[in-house]
Amino acid sequence: MIVFDLLCGVGHRFEGWFGSAKAFASQKERGLLTCPTCGSSKVERIPSASRVNLGAPEPKAPKAPAQPAKTPDMEGKDPFAIAQMLYSRMLDELLTKTEDVGKEFPAKARRIFYKQDPVRAIRGQATEQEHDDLVDEGIPVARLPVPPPERLN
Ligand SMILES: [Zn+2]
């Protein structure tokens, strides 16, 4: 069964139940449809929003999982190449933004930490023992791979 909203020529609005849209057309054709209020056979079907089948509500599109930020030049590269690129960039950063103090590193790091020297980022060499002593004193130092010689100029 389907339900149609109907309107007579005078403006009475009513519902009609039909076996099918075809049955409605047929009954209308033969003048069998009449307004229950005034008996008019001038009946038209009116569109009714309330009967429009909107179907199941659209499933909400799942949010795209957050993609890790990638820079375009990393796209499609294998992880090893990316690691090398990052290492290379880190070196650039390190070499351009730090002062090379060479073997003076432990002494300089200590002086900077205790504010006896202007605060700045330095790099240099330290032995295992010197490194451990600095760490023990709470001086923030990071051990990094020694850059290839061609990067040091
Ligand atoms: Zn009527």
Residue with tokens 């023990």: 136
- Cα of 39 from ligand 1 centre, angstroms: 6
- Cα of 40 from ligand 1 centre, angstroms: 6
- Cα of 41 from ligand 1 centre, angstroms: 8
Angstrom distances, CA of residue 138 to CA of 105, 106, 110, 119, 131? 15, 13, 10, 16, 11
pLDDT of residue 84: 81
pLDDT of residue 148: 67
- Cα of 8 from ligand 1 centre, angstroms: 5
- Cα of 3 from ligand 1 centre, angstroms: 18
* pTM, entire model: 0.42
Write out the H or E segment, with its range, that includes residue 112: helix 105-113
pLDDT of residue 95: 82
List average pLDDT for each run of 10 residues in the chain, which is 153 residues long: 91 92 92 93 79 54 61 73 81 84 92 91 90 91 73 62
pLDDT of residue 81: 81
pLDDT of residue 68: 60
pLDDT of residue 92: 83
- Cα of 1 from ligand 1 centre, angstroms: 23
87 contacts: CB under 8 Å, gap ≥ 6: 145
